[in-house]
Amino acid sequence: MSWKLFKLGLTSPENEPRFFPEEKPLASHYDVVIIGGGGHGLACAYYLAKEHGITRVAVLEQGYLGGGNTGRNTTIVRSNYLTSEGVKFYDASVKLWENLSGDLDINLFYSTRGHFTLAHSDDAMRTMRWRAEVNKHHGVDSEVVDRDAIARAVPTMDLDCGGGPAVHGALYHAPGSVVRHDAVAWGYARAAAQRGVEIHQQTAVTDIHTAGGRVTGVATSRGDISCDAVVSMVAGYTPRITDMLDLPTPIEIYPLQACVTEPVKPFLDTIIVSGSLHVYVSQSSRGELVMGSAVDPAVLHSTRSTFEFVEGLADHIVDMFPFAGRLRLLRQWAGMADMTPDFAPIMGTTPVDGFYLDSGWGTWGFKATPISGQTMAATVAAKRNHELIEPFRLGRFADFQLVGEKGAASVGH
């Protein structure tokens, strides 16, 4: 048995250290205020402290830690994107993920399973090959595989999908992984707190103060704070923050739903995604099938669930895995996805001095948690965009320099 468990068993539970320190009152000033206590916000705080020695940092979370999209996603990590900018960015993230459990000393259950993006038409196969070629060019392990290869790797799947559209082939991405999403927030929170960062839950930012075009502080539900920099990392709540500064962005909010079945013994060892069927599915370490689909069809600032979501998803899952018809759906939920026109994020500096934006994460934000935290921290420290995120700058839309990721956000558009 694991040595750590043995030690745990013999230690008195009262001596087990706290993950997060007791809450304290807000100070009057911080060097950096991070709005949003999800994975991105907590990671940014961690890297600010660890890599830049900036510790007078407050993370302000309106609800509970990791209660936004960090706790609602379908936990998939991959780097098989379409553009060079995207591939380099997400590959850097995967490299951080691979060592993250060790770095944060928490078991994130980072489980590399392999990831299949199924293609059901010639058009889809073309897109898969495009992704594979760009991936390979940048040293990322992806390749196009045919039906036989899929049948060998996933013998439980019906490649004819219950009567069509049949699977032609797939983009296979060996580094594809799943991870325990809540634990990511806890791990970063603990590590950041250990380095002196303050984390304040149940603390909502109600306004951002500026003077002469630069940030001077924020107003919160627990009092005002002055600060030199504000970083907004709130995903689906981004419009509420950018509205405080009258900062226009092309972000639109759509609900993104997900669901799980009851946990059963392992039968699916890889991650399966189908753009045509609007399905992604994996089996968690607990044994549940974790499933998701495309964003809802209309803009809505809400996390309400719909019945037609689970109907459509179940319909296609049963096509792909006929025996799974017996599995019972346990629970469904939703998050709010901040979508951008080109399916790439909006990161970095803004026209407001000292205000930094980490947003536009749509359906692709969770996997970027480590790299977003690291690059945003570097950006705040240097007061200019890290080179990896420069393609994702807010100004790219006015310049028509969109990053064309629409073909790679799994079940995207």
Which residue, 137 or 301, is less far from another protein as judged by CB?
Answer: 137
Select from 54-62, 108-116, 209-217, 238-246 the region that touches another protein (CB under 8 A): 108-116
Select from 28-36, 161-169, 220-228, 379-387 the region that touches another protein (CB under 8 A): 161-169
User: 219 to 248, contacts with another protein by CB under 8 A?
Assistant: none
DSSP annotation of 14 reads G
Using CB under 8 A, which of 28, 29, 53, 99 touches another protein?
Answer: 99
Tell me how far apart the alpha carbons of residues 294 and 200 are, in angstroms, rounded to a whole number: 33
- Backbone phi, then psi, for 379, in 5-degree steps? -65, -45
User: 263 to 302, contacts with another protein by CB under 8 A?
Assistant: 263-267, 285-287
Select from 46-54, 109-117, 348-356, 371-379 the region that touches another protein (CB under 8 A): 109-117
Using CB under 8 A, which of 62, 74, 75, 101 touches another protein?
Answer: 101
Q: Is 24 in the site for another protein (CB under 8 A)?
A: no
Q: Which residue type does 99 have?
A: N
The secondary structure of 68-97 as a DSSP string is SGGGTS--EE----SSHHHHHHHHHHHHHH
Q: Is 216 in the site for another protein (CB under 8 A)?
A: no
Using CB under 8 A, which of 56, 92, 111, 149 touches another protein?
Answer: 111
Residue (of 366, 401, 313, 376) closest to 100 by Cα position: 366
User: 173 to 212, contacts with another protein by CB under 8 A?
Assistant: 180, 182-183, 186, 201
Give the CA angle between residues 116, 120, 122 to the nearest 5°.
110
Using CB under 8 A, which of 317, 352, 371, 389 touches another protein?
Answer: 317
Using CB under 8 A, which of 51, 148, 162, 221 touches another protein?
Answer: 162
Pairing of strands 57-60, 29-35: parallel
Number of residues that bind another protein (CB under 8 A): 94
Which residue, 207 or 269, is less far from another protein as judged by CB?
Answer: 269
SS3 of 94-138: HHHHHCHHHHHCCCCCCEECCEEEEECCHHHHHHHHHHHHHHHHC
Half-sphere exposure of 207 (CA within 13 A, CB side): 6
**Across the strands, what pairs with 347?**
358
Measure CA of the first residue to CA of the last residue in the chain; give whole Å.
47
**Three-class SS state of 369:** helix
Smallest gap from residue 334 Cβ to another protein (A): 9
Using CB under 8 A, which of 60, 108, 290, 352 touches another protein?
Answer: 108
Q: Is 325 in the site for another protein (CB under 8 A)?
A: yes
Buried b (16+ CB within 10 A) or exposed e, 355-383: bbbbbbbbbbbbbbbbbbbbbbbbbbbee
Using CB under 8 A, which of 55, 84, 194, 226 touches another protein?
Answer: 84
Which residue, 296 or 358, is less far from another protein as judged by CB?
Answer: 296
Smallest gap from residue 209 Cβ to another protein (A): 29
